[in-house]
Structure 1
Amino acid sequence: MNKKQVGAWALFDFANSVYPAVIVSVVFQIYFIETIVGNEAGEGDALWGRAVSLSALIVALSAPVLGAIADRAGVRKRFMAFFVAMCVTGVALFTTLEPGMILYGFILFLIANVGFEACLVFYNAYLPEIVPQEKQGWVSGLGYGVGYAGSALGLVMALQYATSNIQIVWIMVAGMFLVFSIPTFLYLPKDGNGSMTVPQAAVWGLTGFRELWGEVMAHTEMRRYLIAYFFYIDGVLTAIYMSSTLASTTFGYEQEELIYLYLAIQIAALMGAFLLAKPTDHLGPKKVVTGVLGLWIAIAIGIFFVESKAAFAVLGLLAGFGLGSIQAASRAFMASLIPDGRESEMFGFYALCGKSSSVIGPLIFGQVALMTGGNQKFSVMSISVLFVVGACLLQRVNDPKAALVKI
């Protein structure tokens, strides 16, 4: 295992994590919902949910084809760089937004979010290439842990300008993502010689998707795992995408309070990613994911009943701990199932499951809020069902790391 490559890989989590923290979870989410659109009766929630869902659908449909191109045309790193540039450009253009520019803001967010989500398809595919299976849980946790440190730094920087000069926040996010990505592109393995040209690989990707689908469905454990993942990760992603509007609208958090809360949540997530990294390797990811899903179910039920900011903050910290651990363990679970040489394609399919599921959750959240006159607690309860279904389905999966458990 090349420590320099592992460090460069983990640093990309640091670089990209400022985007979901500042743009998706806190500052831009509230700016779009309340300033660009307005949220008197849940209209902003509904439009934000649709923007998130549409960007997820675009990535879901394209991820398997992009993965095939990356594996067979030898352009993994170049495609990753293209989508990073796409995200950075979209965020930088947020500086041109003004209140009421709903369609323009919607389109810019689509550009940024598709770029962000697509670059992760190629980034995740490096994990089984540079790390042996018995270390993948630890390294995956390291990446998420470093990523939450990046999120925290981004939120601290945003805190200075979110209420006074919000345009600086967009430039800061774009710049941080770009600058801290540079070592990743310098030190990760170079693209190899592809067996096909890009157009040939694109055609193969389109025609070969049915074959890939058949392979995944024939792989019993992978099929069972991805079905379970489809449900539970939808709940997790919906929590990320809709949490700030819940805190702001239902519990009365102001922008500055939200940033402080999410700073604390990033620290909790950092602890979750690191503290459960070794248990993921020793016990296997199945036990870790199952336990954390139990925590998520309890949090969703708790949110329905609590009323105070303090109680919501406690539940938010628990959710942060669960967020860091479940993402890292899920990535390690998938990596352990993938045959050698099929990393990008299979992680493309993994992204398909995750992103196609996240088309559903934000739509449900937004529509339930709209139907109930803005009552977001019913939206949260509707999402909790996803955790229950995912946890039940996960019990049918045999943990591939069971043979590697260390006593």
Structure 2
Amino acid sequence: MSTPIQIRAWVMYDWANSAFATTIMAAVMPIYFIDVAGGTDGSWSFTQTAAAIVVAMLSPLLGAIADYSGKKVSFLRIFSLIGAFGSMGLAFVGPGDMWLAAILVVVGMVGFGTGNTFYDALLNDITTPEQRESVSARGYSMGYLGGGLLLAMNLGLILGWESIGLPSQTFASQISFVSVGIWWLVFSWPLFRNVKDAATVRMESLGATLRMGSARLRETFSRLKDYPELLKFMLAYWFFFDGINTVIVMAASYGTTIGIKSEDLIAALLITQFIGFPATLVFGKLADRIGSKQMLFGSLVLYLLIVVLGYFMTNATHFFVLAFLVGLVQGGSQATSRAIFSKIIPPGRTAEFNGFLSFTSRFFSFGGPLVFGLVKLVSDSSRSALLAVAFFFLAGLVLLTIVDLAKGEREAQRHSAG
């Protein structure tokens, strides 16, 4: 049985690694990548594509190995270190170092994305099914608060670099990259101290472990037909996750391209973070009361509206309004999706199925940034590129309507018992 301390420790990990999502993925690094390292919004989108492919290749096999070996926490620790040190390495990126920046961003995103496979799988280990909507929402809400607080401090550092005696704004940005790695390492410590690997950890050779992981993965593929509702939900998830991910990773570079000042872009992200903190908690409570599927559906409708409004955006005020709207649903939609998925996968294979979801969603997640980059390349219009992202939300909405979650839970329990 889990304890309240373990739940709080699990929640705090979202506080820890969300610093990477805000400073590196969404705010400071996208602008730094273009203004200092010499990249473009197109090359930034292709960097996201490369990272998504690497995460997709690693997650399912490592998830199967983690379930078999009982080492989910150990795997999470390894990838947290990779992500944190990749973040700190960005301090060495200077003017014109686009390729170094791209490589380190990919390293950091591999640590972040692959690590989340094991983090999400631990939700089943520390909660009952009845707790998952609320605990998952608590995790995302603390992520918004933690990521937002560090971003606010970094924003003050970057905008006030001269008044505090730093040599340049570039140097201030480099300090912010180091702060992400330190923040990640420090605040993930409660999880690694209080949540332990299973007592029945299997100790085998690397070759034997890889073979068993591969065998379990093949079995997962062969048994997917036993979970039709899970498959339908995953199909919907692939599309709307791709849309959400594209909005997250391309928002700052899109704003830069259409002339929004960097300080306004970062301020908008702060709005998203601090609106997201209470909004995600409320979203989780409403999901308990109204229903997870209904709340998720409503959030995707709002996302579709956000993308359309973004096409017409012309100034910072518009960007702030859209940031507010994103804050209302971003964390809630992700937290609710995580809770839904945790209930319709078979017990005992949580990391494996989360790894499989990570593989498939990351495999498809390069679609959004890739479509953005290709439409921008063909049309020479970032606005048209953003509007193309609406397709992913529309497809997700249509597919979500045919998912029967109650039936999916019964399928998971029945086939697990069998």
* TM-score, reference length from structure 2: 0.91
- Counterpart CA distance in 2 for 1:402 and 1:77 is 27
Residues 348-404 of structure 1: CA distance to partner in whole angstroms, max 9, x if unpaired? Answer: 11211221121111111122122222x211111110000000110011101239999
The aligned runs of 1:242-391 (5 Å cut-off) are 242-250=250-258, 252-373=259-380, 375-391=381-397
Q: Which residue of 1 aligns with 2:87?
A: 91
- Counterpart CA distance in 1 for 2:105 and 2:42 is 15
- Counterpart CA distance in 2 for 1:124 and 1:211 is 21
SS at match of 2:94: coil
Q: Which residue of 2 aligns with 1:108?
A: 104
SS at match of 1:397: coil
- Counterpart CA distance in 1 for 2:43 and 2:255 is 18
Preserved contact between residue 271 and residue 324 of structure 1 (Cα < 8 Å): no
Task: Supply the AA of the counterpart residue of 2:23.
Answer: V
Preserved contact between residue 84 and residue 178 of structure 1 (Cα < 8 Å): yes
Preserved contact between residue 162 and residue 255 of structure 1 (Cα < 8 Å): no
Q: Give the Å deviation of 1:245.
A: 0.9
The aligned runs of 1:185-196 (5 Å cut-off) are 185-195=192-202
Task: Supply the AA of the counterpart residue of 2:35.
Answer: E
SS at match of 2:235: helix
Preserved contact between residue 23 and residue 29 of structure 2 (Cα < 8 Å): yes
- Counterpart CA distance in 1 for 2:49 and 2:108 is 14
Q: Give the Å deviation of 1:4.
A: 0.6
Task: Supply the AA of the counterpart residue of 1:134.
Answer: E
Residues 165-220 of structure 1: CA distance to partner in whole angstroms, max 9, x if unpaired? Answer: 22111111111111001011001133432346243232222243232122223201
Q: Which residue of 1 aligns with 2:163?
A: none
**Aligned counterpart in structure 2 of residue 177 of structure 1, from 176, 184, 192:** 184
- Counterpart CA distance in 2 for 1:89 and 1:255 is 25
The aligned runs of 1:136-285 (5 Å cut-off) are 136-163=132-159, 164=169, 165-195=172-202, 197=204, 198-250=206-258, 252-285=259-292
Q: Structure 2 stretches of 5 or more lacking a match?
A: 160-168, 411-418
Identity of aligned residues (%): 31
Preserved contact between residue 272 and residue 323 of structure 1 (Cα < 8 Å): no
Q: Quick one: structure 1 residues 306 and 256, their matched pair in 2 at CA, closer, same or farther if it must change by over 3 Å? A: closer
Preserved contact between residue 56 and residue 359 of structure 2 (Cα < 8 Å): yes
Question: Please, which moves more after superposition, 252-261 or 124-133?
Answer: 252-261
- Counterpart CA distance in 1 for 2:93 and 2:310 is 33
Q: Give the Å deviation of 1:7.
A: 0.2
- Counterpart CA distance in 2 for 1:240 and 1:184 is 26
Query: How many residue pairs align between the two structures?
Result: 397
Task: Supply the AA of the counterpart residue of 1:389.
Answer: A
- Counterpart CA distance in 1 for 2:203 and 2:223 is 21
Task: Supply the AA of the counterpart residue of 2:393.
Answer: F
Residues 100-144 of structure 1: CA distance to partner in whole angstroms, max 9, x if unpaired? Answer: 122222111111110111110110001011111011000000000
The aligned runs of 1:17-32 (5 Å cut-off) are 17-32=18-33
* TM-score, reference length from structure 1: 0.94
Question: Please, which moves more after superposition, 26-35 or 12-21?
Answer: 26-35
Preserved contact between residue 45 and residue 369 of structure 1 (Cα < 8 Å): no
Q: Which residue of 1 aligns with 2:405?
A: 399
SS at match of 1:310: helix
- Counterpart CA distance in 1 for 2:311 and 2:197 is 49
Q: Structure 1 stretches of 5 or more lacking a match?
A: 39-43
Task: Supply the AA of the counterpart residue of 2:399.
Answer: L
SS at match of 1:61: helix
SS at match of 1:174: helix
Question: Please, which moves more after superposition, 329-338 or 45-54?
Answer: 45-54
